[in-house]
C-alpha cells in the first residue's frame, strides 16, 4: 500500500518528534526538555506577549537586511558578470569579503557606528551581499549574447535592455539568491542581536542561556524557524517557480 505524497511531511515531523521525545527521556529533561515542555514554554511566552514582540522585531531586521543585501548584490553582480574589466578589478574584493568572518563584520560595525539599529542591519547585509553578487554574476554570464545583439539592432536603450532582456533572464537566479539569502540572514541577525541589541530573538535567547532555560531557548528557536519556513514555502519558493516557468516551457518546446 503506497503512502500519499502529501503525508510524508507529517510522517517526517512525527518521526522527528518521536526521536526528540526518546532522546529527552534518555538524556534528562533539564539537558533536553521534551516537546511537551517546549510547547508549554512557547505558550507561556506567547501569553505574556514577549514572543510576539521579540519575534516581530527580529523579522523586521531580517526583512530590512534582506532587501538591502539583495538590492546591492544585484546592482553590483550584473556589471561584474557583463564586464570583464569590472570583474577583474573588483573580483579580489569579492573574494576578500566572502572570506571575512561574519563576527568580525558585526563587531567592527558596532565599534565604528555604535550599538545602533543601522549598524546591526548594515552588518547583516554586508555579510550577505558577497554571496548575492556571486550568484548574480554567474547568471549574468550565461545570457545569450544573441539576445543582447538583437536588442542593439532594435536600438533599445541600456535601460530597456536591462528591463526587458537582462532582468527577465536573471529572475530565476535572483529568486535563488533570495532563498539562500534568507537562510543566511536570519542566522546572522540572531548573532547581531545577541552581541548588541536590547530586544529580538537573539537577545532573548542570550537571557535564557544565562538562566540555563533550555526549554525557553528551544521555544524561541522553534517559533522563529516555523515563521522562516512559512516564508520559504509560502512566499519564496512560489516566486522562484513562477520566475523559472518560462525556462521549463522553453525546455518542453
The pLDDT of residue 248: 54
Strand, helix or coil at 155?
A: coil
Residue of 99, 104, 106 lying closest to 122 (CA atoms) = 106
Q: What is the dihedral of CA 157, 160, 162, 166, to 10 degrees?
A: -110
The pLDDT of residue 62: 92
Per-residue pLDDT of the chain (253 residues; tens, 9 = 90+): 565 766 777 788 888 888 888 888 887 767 888 888 889 999 998 988 889 999 999 999 999 999 999 999 999 998 998 888 999 999 999 999 999 999 999 999 999 999 899 999 999 999 999 999 999 998 888 877 777 777 776 677 777 777 667 777 788 788 888 877 888 888 899 999 998 888 888 999 999 888 888 999 999 988 988 888 888 777 777 776 776 665 555 545 4
User: Both ends of the chain: CA-CA distance in Å?
Assistant: 36
Q: What is the spatial distance between Cα 201 and Cα 16, in angstroms, rounded to a whole number?
A: 24
DSSP codes, 116-181: -HHHHHHHHHHHHHHHHHHHHHHHHHTS-HHHHHHHHHTT--HHHHIIIIIHHHHHHHHHHHHHHH
Q: What is the spatial distance between Cα 197 and Cα 82, in angstroms, rounded to a whole number?
A: 40
Residue of 170, 181, 186, 193 lying closest to 244 (CA atoms) = 170
The pLDDT of residue 69: 93
The pLDDT of residue 140: 84
Q: What is the spatial distance between Cα 164 and Cα 122, in angstroms, rounded to a whole number?
A: 31
Which three cell numbers, joined as nine digits, stand for 75? 546592482
The pLDDT of residue 104: 93
Residue of 223, 225, 239, 95 lying closest to 178 (CA atoms) = 239
Q: Are 86 and 80 in contact (CB under 8 A)?
A: yes
Q: Are 178 and 70 in contact (CB under 8 A)?
A: yes
Which three cell numbers, joined as nine digits, stand for 164? 526587458
Q: What is the spatial distance between Cα 105 and Cα 169, in angstroms, rounded to a whole number?
A: 33
Q: In whole angstroms, how far apart are CA 154 and each of 62, 144, 148, 150?
A: 42, 16, 10, 6
Amino acid at each position: 500500500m503506497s503512502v500519499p505524497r502529501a503525508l510524508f511531511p507529517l510522517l517526517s515531523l512525527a518521526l522527528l518528534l518521536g526521536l526528540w521525545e526518546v532522546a529527552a527521556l534518555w538524556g534528562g529533561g533539564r539537558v533536553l526538555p521534551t516537546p511537551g515542555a517546549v510547547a508549554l514554554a512557547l505558550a507561556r511566552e506567547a501569553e505574556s506577549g514577549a514572543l510576539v514582540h521579540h519575534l516581530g522585531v527580529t523579522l523586521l531586521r531580517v526583512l530590512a537586511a534582506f532587501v538591502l543585501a539583495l538590492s546591492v548584490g544585484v546592482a553590483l553582480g550584473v556589471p561584474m558578470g557583463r564586464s570583464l574589466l569590472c570583474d577583474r578589478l573588483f573580483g579580489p574584493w569579492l573574494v576578500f569579503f566572502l572570506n571575512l568572518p561574519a563576527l568580525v563584520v558585526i563587531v567592527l560595525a558596532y565599534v565604528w557606528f555604535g550599538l545602533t539599529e543601522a549598524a546591526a542591519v548594515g552588518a547583516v547585509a554586508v555579510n550577505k551581499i558577497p554571496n548575492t553578487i556571486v550568484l548574480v554574476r554567474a547568471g549574468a554570464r550565461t545570457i545569450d549574447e544573441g539576445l543582447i545583439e538583437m536588442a542593439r539592432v532594435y536600438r533599445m536603450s541600456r535601460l530597456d535592455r536591462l528591463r526587458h532582456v537582462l532582468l527577465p533572464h536573471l529572475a530565476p537566479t535572483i529568486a535563488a539568491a533570495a532563498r539562500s539569502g534568507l537562510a543566511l540572514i536570519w542566522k546572522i541577525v540572531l548573532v547581531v542581536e545577541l552581541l548588541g541589541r536590547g530586544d529580538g530573538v537573539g537577545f532573548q535567547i542570550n537571557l535564557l542561556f544565562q538562566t540555563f532555560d533550555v526549554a525557553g531557548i528551544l521555544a524561541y528557536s522553534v517559533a522563529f524557524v516555523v515563521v522562516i519556513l512559512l516564508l520559504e514555502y509560502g512566499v519564496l519558493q512560489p516566486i522562484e517557480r513562477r520566475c523559472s516557468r518560462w525556462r521549463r516551457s522553453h525546455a518542453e518546446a
